[in-house]
Copies of this chain bind each other. A is one copy, B any other.
């Protein structure tokens, strides 16, 4: 048994394979270098200063985050060019001012109302992106609402407190795609919509950069013409959702929750682990009509070996324990009290549970916590 792994595990523990993390980062860094696209990775998946350093070692200087507190955490750890990629919360203007005094804090708006509020109340001039909805349907001004976008750009360009950067979108509807072709087609549609807006703004006298996001596109697309910046984040760990989309292979998944086996039920070929929705998150993925909460890895000398879903899948998940359906062959390999590794459905949410990660090399990595 490797020494990072207690064969009698006390509690579920998020475990990181740092080799896979490095490989995942290097692959995307190289890709965007090759394409001449500025890479501003999203740090919301790992939220960890030490993992941030791996990016820095590969030349990354600018990052994306999803909350102001997360921005402050990474500012503490030496990052000074940060995009807060959710629309500004008007309740946090004072905190924004405080942080924007220390770092270049790029903000996001999608309404005249909030842009006006920022112009009137911010004390520090901030770079600002306009959020466009290219079809995902969550936040942003709709891509076809050209008049509204022009109006907002005009307001921002005339604001002494705001510096217009460009148009930012997250084509999160690539998560509905399955396979290379669908992702490529959807990203291309989003990209064309953004480029059309860029042209319209140019005709109006405004120069806009184009910033796009998402791990499926970053992993699978090779055509980024006209895109100035990419902001994917999940690829650092990947997860079961991404293998289902086709963004990565199972071997690329760099994170797993180590859980002790507390029950074996031969009649049902079922194994129960200590580790439930509070340890894995309750996010699920539906595969062949079946709702699943994780895939299973068996311990190896340097991490885990993934077993195929048909031989081991987390089929139910209550607060503290989960049930795993296994094949007869796998059932016989598993012993009571041993450690299993659960590859999460959604690594961002699984990682969110833990204040620190353990690596397969035995290192402990602290991370940002939502609430102290």
Chain A residues in the interface with B (C-beta under 8 A): 6, 8-11, 44, 66-67, 69, 86-92, 95, 110-111, 113-114, 137-139, 142, 145, 172, 260, 262-264, 267-268, 272, 274, 277-279, 281-283, 316, 318-321, 323, 336-337, 346, 348-349, 352-356, 370-372
Contacts A95-B10, A282-B281, A282-B349; A272 near B139 (Cβ below 8 A): yes
Q: What chain B residues lie within 8 Å of A10 (beta carbons)?
A: 89, 91-92, 95
Q: Which of B89, B349, B372 contacts A262 (CB 8 A)?
A: B89
Contacts A283-B282, A336-B114; A138 near B95 (Cβ below 8 A): no
Shortest Cβ gap from A149 to chain B (Å): 14
Q: What chain B residues lie within 8 Å of A262 (beta carbons)?
A: 86-90, 114
Task: Name the prevailing secondary structure of the A interface residues.
Answer: loop
Q: What chain B residues lie within 8 Å of A139 (beta carbons)?
A: 263, 272, 321, 323
Contacts A260-B91, A274-B89; A172 near B318 (Cβ below 8 A): yes
Q: What chain B residues lie within 8 Å of A263 (beta carbons)?
A: 87, 110-111, 114, 139
4 A-B pairs besides A67-B320, A110-B263 with CB distance below 8 A are A8-B91, A87-B263, A90-B262, A281-B282
Shortest Cβ gap from A263 to chain B (Å): 5
How many identical subunits does the complex contain? 2
Q: What chain B residues lie within 8 Å of A267 (beta carbons)?
A: 142, 145
> A88, A91, A323, A346 — which one has the most chain B CB atoms within 10 A of its CB?
A91
Q: What chain B residues lie within 8 Å of A352 (beta carbons)?
A: 278
Q: What chain B residues lie within 8 Å of A323 (beta carbons)?
A: 137-139
> A92, A260, A319, A337 — which one has the most chain B CB atoms within 10 A of its CB?
A319
Shortest Cβ gap from A36 to chain B (Å): 29
Shortest Cβ gap from A254 to chain B (Å): 18
